């Protein structure tokens, strides 16, 4: 069982944020917009068996932040450097470069996305 089942990353411009995350991860996000908010989900096979999340735009409920609140780490296996190398070109900023956690947990890095959120990456290599 995973400790996390779903996460949401606040965004100001959902299309700009979608473009950023699709570029750095080489993915296609799913449009889950509804009348109350704009939402783009990260790809998933079966949401009940794993972890996924979305970019969410709702100005009355979400505020991007670079230094407050929870910090999520996205899976960047096999090597987070491949993702991190695309962050600046896609409009983000690297805060903490690839750094070894330990032999069991691999590596981590932290970047700021185009919306002003700090987001972590983790990989085994």
Give residues with Cβ within 8 angstroms of 103, minimum separation 6: none
Which uninterrupted H or E stretch holds 31? Answer: strand 30-31
CB 112 within 8 A of CB 95: yes
Q: What is the pTM of this model?
A: 0.89
Distance CA 69, CA 111 (A): 15
Cis amide bond preceding 71, omega within 30: no
At 3-57, the pLDDT tens digits run 788 899 999 999 999 999 999 999 999 999 998 899 999 998 876 667 889 999 9
């Amino acid at each position: 069982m995973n400790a996390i089942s779903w996460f949401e990353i606040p965004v100001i411009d959902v299309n700009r944020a979608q473009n950023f995350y699709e570029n750095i991860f080489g993915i296609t996000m799913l449009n889950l917009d509804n009348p109350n908010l704009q939402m783009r989900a990260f790809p998933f096979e079966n949401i009940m068996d794993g972890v996924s999340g979305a970019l969410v735009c709702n100005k009355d409920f979400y505020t991007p932040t670079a230094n407050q609140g929870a910090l999520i780490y996205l899976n960047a296996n096999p090597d987070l450097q491949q993702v991190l190398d695309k962050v600046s070109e896609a409009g983000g900023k690297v805060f903490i470069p690839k750094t070894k956690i330990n032999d069991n947990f691999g590596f981590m890095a932290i970047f700021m996305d185009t919306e002003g959120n700090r987001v972590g990456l983790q990989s085994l290599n």
